[in-house]
């Protein structure tokens, strides 16, 4: 992809009629469903660090089309072997509908083989995990009138096919929210969506936040938990990685937690959050071959504004 192509996607995102948008969603659904089947229903995407040269990681976008486009136009992003989004595409930002259009276009053009990975955030969760405010349906109706409701429902149907975790073997575990307090194997993460709601693992992956303490605590969000440093360390052991990469909390692009074991990446800026900077990560060959901690990742993160 190049700058001109991305400008075309954006133009199309604004002018797409119901039929065009509906066709894009249907095609994306087919591709995402196929990848889901290919993983045998697992929600964990595995990346062998020796088979790729560069991986880009993008945090919450939440309707911030400007930051998304700015990031996609960077040469190192266009040439990356994998682009991983950590979830939360719609809501908050006025251009949530257009963000979906651009992200699904990117996904379609990347084709099969999980080159573009769209993780599930808490704003793409199952129906029994509500969140507020959920403005996406309103944005669809504002743009497309009554027929926007059907488009919104079609987008919602995609969520079930999205994976919720990425493992870069021996290096990094990526999720939207956080690591669960009571898991015993990586399969607990991979199939968390299937054990939901009898187990809280899925909810924790999508909703939890790190806390600078040991143990597990109730979350002020009303869903998920606050997980302590000892939990992070245990999940690192179980999954065989050095660092957890997640998004979900606004920060000035990147933030280090748990003494360098957790990195938060946030890729949107502006209201209703108060951060002035967004960021993304480029994991180059060195960073894929050597497991880096969050301090090292923070130093190399690209602040986009």
Q: Which residues bind Mn ion (CB under 5 A)?
A: 88, 121-122, 248
Tallying the residues shown for the chain, one arrives at 305
Task: Give the C-alpha distances (Å, rounded to integers) separating 179 from 8, 176, 228, 287, 293.
Answer: 38, 9, 10, 22, 16
How many other C-beta atoms are found inside a 10 Å radius of the C-beta of residue 22? 16
- Which of 10, 179 has the CB closer to Mn ion? 179
Whether 207 and 123 have beta carbons less than 8 Å apart is answered as no
Helix (H) or strand (E) holding 96: helix 96-110
- Which of 91, 296 has the CB closer to Mn ion? 91
- Which of 4, 128 has the CB closer to Mn ion? 128
User: For residue 289, which of 186, 175, 173, 169 has the smallest C-alpha distance?
Assistant: 169
Query: Catalytic residue at 176?
Result: no
Q: Which residue is nearest to Mn ion (CB)?
A: 248
Give least dist CB 65 to Mn ion, A: 18
Residue of 62, 123, 196, 258 marked catalytic: 123
Residue with tokens 């995407």: 45
- Which of 21, 273 has the CB closer to Mn ion? 273
Give least dist CB 52 to Mn ion, A: 26
Give least dist CB 123 to Mn ion, A: 6
Give least dist CB 67 to Mn ion, A: 16
Whether 56 and 78 have beta carbons less than 8 Å apart is answered as no
Give least dist CB 182 to Mn ion, A: 21
Long-range contacts formed by 212-215: CB under 8 A, 24+ apart: 212/257, 212/258
* Tokens linked to 233: 């360390």
Residue 119, Cα to own-chain centre: how many angstroms? 4
Residue 104, Cα to own-chain centre: how many angstroms? 13
Separation CA 34–CA 264 (nearest Å)? 30
The 3-state DSSP class for residue 215 equals coil
- Which of 101, 219 has the CB closer to Mn ion? 219
Give least dist CB 88 to Mn ion, A: 4
- Which of 125, 148 has the CB closer to Mn ion? 125
Whether 61 and 95 have beta carbons less than 8 Å apart is answered as no
Catalytic residue annotation: 123
């Amino acid at each position: 992809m190049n700058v001109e192509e991305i400008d075309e996607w954006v133009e199309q995102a604004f002018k797409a009629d119901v039929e065009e948008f509906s066709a894009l969603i249907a095609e994306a659904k087919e591709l995402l469903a196929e990848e889901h089947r290919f993983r045998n229903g697992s929600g964990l995407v595995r990346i062998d660090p020796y088979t790729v040269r560069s991986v880009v990681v993008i945090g919450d976008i939440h309707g911030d089309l400007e930051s998304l486009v700015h990031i996609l136009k960077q040469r190192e992003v266009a040439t990356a072997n994998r682009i991983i989004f950590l979830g939360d595409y719609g809501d908050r930002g006025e251009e949530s509908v257009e963000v979906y259009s651009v992200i699904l276009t990117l996904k379609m053009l990347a084709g099969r083989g999980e080159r573009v990975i769209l993780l599930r955030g808490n704003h793409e969760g199952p129906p029994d995990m509500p969140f507020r405010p959920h403005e996406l349906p309103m944005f669809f109706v504002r743009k497309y009138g009554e027929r926007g409701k059907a488009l919104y429902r079609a987008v919602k149907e995609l969520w079930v096919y999205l994976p919720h975790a990425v493992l870069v073997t021996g290096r990094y575990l990526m999720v939207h929210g956080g690591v669960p307090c009571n898991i015993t194997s990586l399969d607990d993460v991979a199939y968390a969506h299937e054990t939901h709601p009898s187990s809280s693992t899925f909810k924790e992956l999508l909703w939890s936040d790190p806390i600078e303490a040991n143990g597990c605590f109730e979350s002020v969000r009303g869903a998920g938990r606050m997980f302590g440093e000892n939990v992070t360390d245990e999940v690192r052991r179980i999954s065989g990685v050095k660092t957890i990469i997640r998004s979900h909390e606004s920060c000035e692009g990147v933030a280090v937690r748990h003494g360098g074991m957790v990195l938060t990446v946030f890729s949107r800026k502006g209201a209703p959050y108060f951060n002035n900077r967004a960021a993304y990560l480029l994991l180059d060959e060195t960073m894929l071959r050597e497991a880096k901690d969050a301090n090292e990742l923070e130093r190399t993160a690209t602040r986009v504004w």
